[in-house]
């Protein structure tokens, strides 16, 4: 059983227990999964337009320094309630996002590492845009309509900066 499988089962069980207690069907249990747009102005970041980039455009760029504090603020407003404050715990209900690029970080070959990070970026962007709905239960809401890609990539940089501390 994978880590994510276990999380999924735990969340399904929690949703069912919650629905049972409230005497409601899953609609009651799912109310907490609504996405709330972070109130962070991304206007100082280089604008990226409406078409999502395949890879994080701020990584290793001069904009990274600017993106980090904005990413931190947006993360704590939008993601922390499930993934943990400052992406600094493995004890939150949702997966520890610092682990996402761990296997890439361990690769020595620079070309292979770059491929791995690009793949990881694609997975991050797809997951954030679409959310995670598994057997009809919203584990994570979709962020596409609420989160400009500038902020999404800034959030990812912040998470990665936390990962480097461990």
Please tell me the distance from the alpha carbon of residue 105 to that of residue 117, in angstroms, as a whole number. 8
Residue closer to ligand HEC, measured from CB, 109 or 130: 130
Residues 136-155 that bind ligand HEC (CB under 6 A): 139-140, 143, 147, 155
Residue closer to ligand HEC, measured from CB, 64 or 152: 152
**Could you tell me the smallest distance in angstroms from the CB atom of residue 4 to ligand HEC?**
5
Residue with tokens 């904005």: 70
**Could you tell me the smallest distance in angstroms from the CB atom of residue 166 to ligand HEC?**
16
Please tell me the distance from the alpha carbon of residue 6 to that of residue 74, in angstroms, as a whole number. 28
Residue with tokens 């997951």: 127
Residues 66-125 that bind ligand HEC (CB under 6 A): 78-79, 81-83, 94-95, 97, 100, 124
- Determine if 4 is a binding residue for ligand HEC (CB under 6 A): yes
The contact set with ligand HEC (CB under 6 A) reads 4, 7-8, 11, 33, 78-79, 81-83, 94-95, 97, 100, 124, 127-128, 132, 134, 139-140, 143, 147, 155
């Amino acid at each position: 059983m994978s880590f994510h499988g276990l999380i999924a089962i735990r969340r399904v069980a929690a949703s069912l227990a919650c629905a049972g207690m409230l005497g409601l069907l899953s609609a009651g249990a799912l109310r907490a999964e609504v996405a709330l747009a972070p109130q962070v102005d991304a206007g100082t970041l280089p604008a990226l337009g409406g078409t999502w980039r395949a890879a994080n455009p701020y990584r290793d760029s001069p904009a990274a320094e600017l993106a980090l504090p904005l990413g931190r603020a947006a993360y704590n407003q939008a993601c922390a309630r499930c993934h943990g404050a400052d992406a600094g715990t493995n004890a939150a209900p949702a997966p520890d996002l610092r682990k996402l690029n761990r296997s890439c970080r361990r690769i020595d070959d620079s070309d292979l590492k770059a491929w791995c990070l690009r793949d990881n970026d694609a997975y991050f962007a797809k997951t954030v845009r679409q959310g995670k709905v598994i057997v009809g239960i919203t584990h994570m809401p979709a962020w596409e309509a609420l989160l400009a890609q500038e902020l999404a990539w800034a959030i990812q940089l912040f998470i990665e900066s936390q990962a480097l501390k461990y």
